[in-house]
Amino acid sequence: MLEIKDLKTYFDTDRGLVKAVEGVTFNIDPGETVGVVGESGCGKSVTALSVMKLLPKPVGRIAGGKIIFKGEDLTDATEDRMRQIRGNKISMIFQEPMTSLNPVLTVGYQIMEPLMLHQGMSSREAKAKAIEMLQLVGMPDPGRRVDEYPHQLSGGQRQRAMIAMALACRPELLIADEPTTALDVTIQAQILDLMNDLQREFDTAIMLITHDLGVIAEMAQRVVVMYAGLIVEEAPVVPLFYEPLHPYTRGLLSSIPRVDKDLDKLHVIPGFVPSPFEFPKGCRFHNRCDRALSKCSEEMPPLYVFKDGRAVRCFLYESKSTDRGASR
């Protein structure tokens, strides 16, 4: 469905060049959910915005690589072509619905717009479909909510409206950027159940971006772990949780509060994510890693790919890659 090859996304700023995403490669199959995780600033959302070609201009740009959607390289697509794809073939649930929804248009009109644009529906047909979509996403009293404005809805209702808008044209790929941020746990569970139900109904592929590993465990089949603009590990969800390979992934999983752990002694990853203006030489995680080798501070490890579908960017697995796979 989607193949991202060696994607490089840069930002030209007053302080210098920011290499927000540098050489990211992964794919998503039809009907599959791939989770993309990592700390804030690791490049998750920038990767998604690159796929949608919604980078802020003229500051942001795709500096290299390919984004192939169903055989078409989107990096070469014109803006007119992207308008045909966005909201139709590929839709995105943005991180904060209050700032992503237009405050001066009703939620109903915002759901109707892609239906009229891409599906050729009349306004009456589109409104009926909008009500149907709001009902599908569990919006209470959809016939009334369709004529309300975003500020009149609760956070959970706005998120449901965003999902209804994203799924109105039955996209083949849904990009969900922190779809449950700032929602209470009850609403969060309802939203995740809703996305699962809709995926089964529409066979939609999902790129799920989050820092919440609990959400990943529930939703994803494969996981891509990013750190400082790079992929450091990729694996099916069960092996990743039971046997994480990269020290950063192990640190993330160890940081999750558990009822069988002493909550006064939560594990933390020492240090901070490096500034994109001054990435360290060598492995970008070496100065926070408790298993760093001498060459980690001098050389960038390649992404070692194993035959079991896993990949890890760490010199600790250099010898194991010889008989299990190759590096890229």
> Could you give the number of structural domains in the chain?
1
Query: Is residue 202 included in any domain, yes or no?
Result: no
pLDDT tens per residue across span 193-212: 878 887 888 788 999 998 88
Query: Is residue 273 included in any domain, yes or no?
Result: yes
Query: Is residue 89 included in any domain, yes or no?
Result: no
Would you state the pLDDT for residue 260?
Answer: 63
Would you state the pLDDT for residue 322?
Answer: 44
Would you state the pLDDT for residue 326?
Answer: 46
Query: Is residue 180 included in any domain, yes or no?
Result: no
Query: Is residue 4 included in any domain, yes or no?
Result: yes
Would you state the pLDDT for residue 265?
Answer: 66
Query: Is residue 270 included in any domain, yes or no?
Result: yes
**HEC secondary structure over the chain:** CEEEEEEEEEEEECCEEEEEEEEEEEEECCCCEEEEECCCCCCHHHHHHHHHCCCCCCCEEEEEEEEEECCEEHHHCCHHHHHHHECCCEEEECCCHHHHCCCCCCHHHHHHHHHHHHCCCCHHHHHHHHHHHHHHCCCCCHHHHCCCCHHHCCHHHHHHHHHHHHHCCCCCEEEEECCCCCCCHHHHHHHHHHHHHHHHHHCCEEEEECCCHHHHHHHCCEEEEEECCEEEEEEEHHHHHHCCCCHHHHHHHHCCCCCCCCHHHCCCCCCCCCCCCCCCCCCCCHHHCCCCCHHHHCCCCCCEEECCCCEECCHHHCCCHHHHEEEC
Look up the CATH number of the domain holding residue 281: 3.40.50.300
Would you state the pLDDT for residue 89?
Answer: 92
Query: Is residue 73 included in any domain, yes or no?
Result: yes
Would you state the pLDDT for residue 202?
Answer: 78
pTM of the model: 0.89
Query: Is residue 253 included in any domain, yes or no?
Result: yes
**Domain of 60?**
1-78+214-296
Tens of pLDDT along the chain (328 residues) come to 899 999 999 999 988 899 999 999 999 999 999 999 988 888 999 999 999 999 998 899 999 999 999 999 999 999 999 999 998 999 998 877 777 889 999 999 999 999 999 989 999 999 999 999 898 888 889 999 999 999 999 888 888 898 888 888 888 999 999 887 766 777 778 778 878 887 888 788 999 998 888 889 889 999 999 999 999 999 999 999 999 999 999 998 887 766 666 656 677 888 888 888 888 899 999 999 988 899 999 999 999 988 788 999 999 988 765 444 444 5
pLDDT tens per residue across span 285-318: 999 998 889 999 999 999 998 878 899 999 998 8
